[in-house]
Amino acid sequence: MSEHTPSGAPGAGTTTVEPAPVSDLRAAVAKDGRRRRTAVVAAVVAAVLGLLAVVGVLLLRDGGGSAPAAAAGEQGAPLSLRIATSEDTGFQDAVAEIASDEGLEVEWVNVADWVLPNTELAAGTVDGNAFQHILYLSQFNTANDEDLTPVFSTVITQWGIFSATLDDVQAIPDGGRVAIPDDPSNGGRALYILEAAGLIEVSDDAAELPTVDDITSNPKNLELVAIGATTIPQQFDDPSLSAVVVGTSYFDPSQGIGTDDALFLDDSLAEKNLPYVNVVASRADNADDEAWQILEEAYRDPRAQEALEEEYFGQTVLVDVDVETLRTKLADLEALAAATP
C-alpha cells in the first residue's frame, strides 16, 4: 500500500488531507497492472534478444549448435501439471499456451461439480485445482480434515443482485422470492450483499459465515431460496423469482447479462471480500513444486489478462495477493469454521 507524502511542512492554516485508504485487493490489482506493464517491456526486449539468438543459431549451425531444450525439473523430466477445474474457458487455454512457451505443460481436468476438484486433489489424481475462493477452500478443509493450500491468487469475481423483471432493488416486492447459493460460503456472501443493498440486516456476530438464521431484520419478508450457485443463471428467468444473487461471470455470454444489468453491484475489491479471492490450490506437501512459479507467471502475463477481459468483459479481474496473506486468512477461516456448530 503506497502513500503520497507532500514535500515541505504545511504552513499556518494549511490542512493536510490524508489519502483515502486503499484496500489490499485494490492494491493487488494495481500491482498486477504494474507487473503487466513491466512484462510488456520485457517482451519487447525478449523479442530483440530472441532475434539475435536465432541469428546466432544460424551462424553456429555448421558447428553443431542446437536450440536449448524445454524447461525440466530437478530430475531432468519435463515439467507438467494436471489442474482440476469446474469449467472449460478460453482464459485457461491462454494460460496453458503461455505456460507451454516456458516449458510447462498444463492439462486442465474439467469435472462436473464443485466437490470433485478438491476430492480429486486430496486423492492425488491431480496436482492442483483452480476454481474456488479461500472461504470455500476453508469449508472443505475443515469438513474433510484436509490440508489443501493456496499456491497463488488468481481472480475475484463481481457479484450482484439481478432480476429478469425489475429495474430497481427497492422494487422487489414484499414476500418476494430471492435465489441465493446453497453452499455456506457463497450463500453467506449473498446475505451480506442483500444487507448492503438495504434489504435485510445480518447479526454482527455472523462474521464471514452468516446463515439465514443470522438475519435480524427482514422488513420485506423476503423468501430466500437456496439453490446451486452454478444453476442460478439458468433459473434467472423463473417467473416465481423476483431476483437472484450471483456472480456476474456465472451468466452464460449468450444471456447478455453484465454488471450494467445489476439492481445492486457489490464492490468486489473492498477489504471485506478477501475471503472471496480465487486461488490455485495444491496439497501442502506439493506447494513448493517449482512448476507453480511458472504457472503463476503465465497467469500474470498480459496475454492472459487480454483473454480474461475478452471472456468476462471486466467482470472478473486478476489479483496478485501475497501467498502468506492468503494462507493466514485461510487459517483464520478454518478456525472460524471449526468453531461454528
All structural domains of the chain with their residue ranges: 33-48+79-157+274-339, 159-266
Question: Which has the minimum average pLDDT: 45-49, 113-117, 189-193, 268-272?
Answer: 45-49
pLDDT at 22: 56
Query: What is residue 14's three-state secondary structure?
Result: coil
| Lowest mean per-residue pLDDT among 34-43, 175-184, 245-254, 320-329 | 34-43
Strands (E), the chain: 79-85, 104-110, 128-133, 148-153, 155-157, 159-162, 177-181, 201-202, 215-217, 223-227, 243-247, 264-265, 278-283, 316-318
Q: How confident is the model at residue 341 (pLDDT cuts 50, 70, 90)?
A: confident
CA angle 266, 269, 270 (to 5 degrees): 75
Residue 328: pLDDT above 60? yes
Q: Is the pLDDT of residue 59 over 70?
A: no
Q: Are 249 and 312 in contact, with CB atoms under 8 Å apart? A: yes
Phi, psi for residue 194 in degrees, rounded to 5: -65, -35
Fold adopted by 159-266: D-Maltodextrin-Binding Protein; domain 2 (3.40.190)
Q: What SS3 class is residue 73? A: coil
- Do the domains 159-266 and 33-48+79-157+274-339 match in fold? yes
CATH level 3 topology of 33-48+79-157+274-339: D-Maltodextrin-Binding Protein; domain 2 (3.40.190)
As a whole number, mean pLDDT of residues 255-274 equals: 93
Instruction: Inform me whether the pLDDT recorded for 312 exceeds 50.
Output: yes
pLDDT score, position 296? 98
pLDDT confidence bin for 76, thresholds 50/70/90: low
Q: What pLDDT is stored for residue 29 in this prediction?
A: 64
- pTM higher than 0.75: yes
CA distance 287 to 77: 19
Give residue-wise pLDDT tens across range 129-146.
999 999 999 999 999 999
Give me the pLDDT at residue 27, please. Answer: 72
